[in-house]
A and B are shown apart, each in its own frame.
Chain A
Amino acid sequence: MIIKGHIWKFGDNIDTDIIIPARYLAHTDPGVLGQHCMEPLVPDFSKKVKKGDIIVAGFNFGCGSSREHAPIAISALGIPIVIARSFARIFYRNAFNKGLALMEADIYNMAKEGDEIEIDVFSGIIKTKDTTVKAKPIPPFMVELIEAGGLMNYLKKKLEERHENL
């Protein structure tokens, strides 16, 4: 699976209150959540970002609350993947569960805002304008989840099997 897009850069410790401020959490509509994504740092992010753009960040992306509204807001803007030096653990699970791919890779310094980037999700090969690096591929267990189409589809399949066995 190859993903190609333009880079938006964010720093370290991008917390869930930045990704989607709590005052919008009563909403569950992805469209509404997307409109306020990253608002405290880039007030009109949702208008500036283009479908297919990719976020590159520093350490501990997604730290803070367990709100699943955070990966939902990012996905709602058409961002297919976030590449960061590291991720906070609840955000990591949530993103895969909701079908937002994450890759842990140290490309922060070589990534330039606006440049094109190409990622092979399964091999971990990342190409920017001038460089190619091999990052850790997504762990096999998480690939299983993606292939099942996220956690809920995986569960749906299991429930169907259970019905068939009854």
Chain B
Amino acid sequence: MGMTITEKILAAHSGRDFVEPGEIIDADVDIVLANDITAPLSLEEFEKVGAEKVFDQDKVVFVLDHFTPNKDIISAENCKKIREFSKKHGIKHFYEGGRCGIEHALLPEQGIVVPGDVVIGADSHTCTYGALGAFATGMGSTDITYAMVTGKIWFKVPESIKFLCYGEWNRWVTGKDLILHIIGMIGVDGALYSAMEFDGEAISNLSMDSRMTIANMAIEAGAKNGIFRPDEKTMAYVEKRAKRPPRVFESDRDAQYKQVIEIDVSKLGLKVACPSLPSNVKDVEDLKDIEIDQVVIGSCTNGRLEDLKMAADILKGKKIAPWVRCIVIPATPDIYRDALKLGYIEIFADAGCIISPPTCGPCLGGHMGVLAKGERAVATTNRNFIGRMGHPESEVYLSGPAVAAASAIAGKIMHPEGF
């Protein structure tokens, strides 16, 4: 019997020739990640357990991206704690300040994650790295501590659901619209405990940035991981960045799937997830006269160069609507620099956008764009739960960068056609 790409990676990391869904395995991990809100709990456990060192100084990664630049004293204390730990233990990949980006944009960009890896992170959007053909999943701080010390973690091998995507992409439509469409179709627990595998000609035609957006939101369908077969685009992306040699796995022809879902992307338009679940998905054309107070273009979901380009193309020569705040957040320093060279930052500034340093800030209602009671935002982020971006009675609509940019100009949720 054949294996899926997820099963093959897990088998290879647990010294097995074969694994099947439901088995519990003890796997070696390639990268263990935590951030400024999850690492403090991990480090407390690390001390409590009496561990003396991390399993590998090159494989433990800390990215201080959530409440940074430090939003208050307690956040600053947390960062200090992680910084001191990193110095003491010789952590190679410690990112803060001007070298820091949003973790799930930063790690692939810096070649810290490569195809074939097993990556666990104390952040639910760790599943983003599946876009490279790695097995990557989010866990809590305690599991992360265990892996930091031992280099291993237990997994239950997940069943896989295959999404076979074909057809030509329509203008403006991106990976964000596809993943919102899928979550709308299967629900926020539609892939619970499962691997979501994306394949087909429409996926081959997608950029790496768009694939990362899709893998990023696998967790919003409850999935353990999202994963893509590495192809020429993957290898071209990885080649110039990889810090370790990649290992390419792909699913066997006779691999077993819990379900295969076919999607014709040529029928796909621009999607918006309405409050207060990512599965509450509608076509943008069906949302009439929904006035907004804020727009956020950024995050680990949609803060990459392709996203900024799409927003800049729409915002060029335009002005943000009166009474609307539009916050643009390039996800990493490299993306910021590229956006600067390509003139996007100037376009945003001319349009009247707020240009933020890389941070998760507003996505989780942390800082840098928190909503007041009754306020409404369109965001290219990943969650629109009750109170996600601020007051429990504020609202978040999730979209791709095109709808977000058009809405910022119109002051209400808007299709980008005609801008």
Contact = CB atoms under 8 A, between A and B. Distances in A.
A, B co-complexed: yes
Contacts of A18: 385-387
Contacts of A133: none
A66 B121 CA distance: 9
B63 interface: no
B150 A155 contact: yes
B230 interface: no
Given A66-B124, A152-B45, A98 B387 contact: no
B149 A159 contact: yes
A46 interface: no
B38 A68 contact: yes
A67 interface: yes
A15 B365 CA distance: 15
Interface stretch (A23-31, A75-83, A114-122): A23-31
A155 B387 contact: no
Nearest to A140: B24
A63 B188 contact: yes
Given A67-B140, A68-B38, A89 B224 contact: yes
A23 to B, nearest CB: 6
A86 B187 CA distance: 14
Contacts of B3: none
Nearest to A162: B150
Contacts of A152: 45, 48-49, 142, 145-146
B385 A17 contact: yes
Given A64-B383, A65-B124, A69-B41, A22 B224 contact: no
Contact of B74 (A15, A26, A39, A72): A26
Residue among A13, A26, A156 with most chain B CB within 10 A? A26
A28 B386 CA distance: 23
A164 to B, nearest CB: 14
A66 B123 contact: yes
Nearest to A70: B140
A142 B224 CA distance: 18
Contacts of B121: 66
B206 interface: no
Contact of B193 (A22, A65, A89): A89
A21 B365 CA distance: 8
B184 interface: no
B211 to A, nearest CB: 22
In this complex, the interface size class of chain B, counting residues with CB under 8 Å from chain A, is 35 or more
A69 B40 CA distance: 11
A23 B124 contact: no
A41 B386 contact: yes
Contacts, number: 133
B141 interface: yes
A93 B364 contact: no
A40 B387 contact: yes
B364 A22 contact: yes
B124 A68 contact: no
Residue among A23, A27, A68, A150 with most chain B CB within 10 A? A68
B140 A90 contact: yes
Contacts of B140: 66-68, 71, 90, 93-94, 97-98
A97 B37 contact: no
A86 B193 CA distance: 11
Interface in B127-167: 138-143, 145-146, 149-150, 154
B40 A155 contact: no
Residue among A41, A66, A89 with most chain B CB within 10 A? A66
B143 A63 contact: no
B338 interface: no
B189 A28 contact: no
A65 B123 contact: yes
Contacts of B49: 152, 155-156, 159
A126 B6 CA distance: 37
B417 interface: no
A98 B144 CA distance: 13
A18 B392 CA distance: 9
B287 to A, nearest CB: 22
A21 to B, nearest CB: 6
Contacts of A21: 365, 387
Contacts of A156: 49-50
Nearest to B52: A159
Given A18-B385, A90-B138, A63 B50 contact: no
Interface in A17-62: 17-18, 21-23, 25-28, 39-41, 59-60
B359 to A, nearest CB: 13
A151 interface: yes
User: What are the nearest 6 A-B pairs in CB distance?
Assistant: A94-B140, A22-B364, A68-B140, A60-B189, A97-B142, A40-B392
29 contacts: A17-B365, A17-B385, A17-B386, A17-B387, A22-B365, A23-B365, A26-B72, A26-B75, A59-B189, A64-B385, A66-B126, A66-B139, A68-B140, A68-B142, A71-B140, A72-B41, A94-B140, A94-B142, A94-B143, A98-B142, A141-B24, A141-B154, A151-B143, A152-B49, A152-B145, A155-B145, A155-B150, A159-B50, A159-B51
Given A39-B392, A60-B188, A156-B50, 20 more contacts: A13-B188, A13-B189, A15-B386, A17-B383, A23-B365, A23-B370, A25-B66, A26-B71, A27-B74, A28-B41, A41-B386, A60-B189, A63-B188, A86-B192, A90-B124, A90-B139, A90-B140, A152-B48, A156-B49, A158-B150
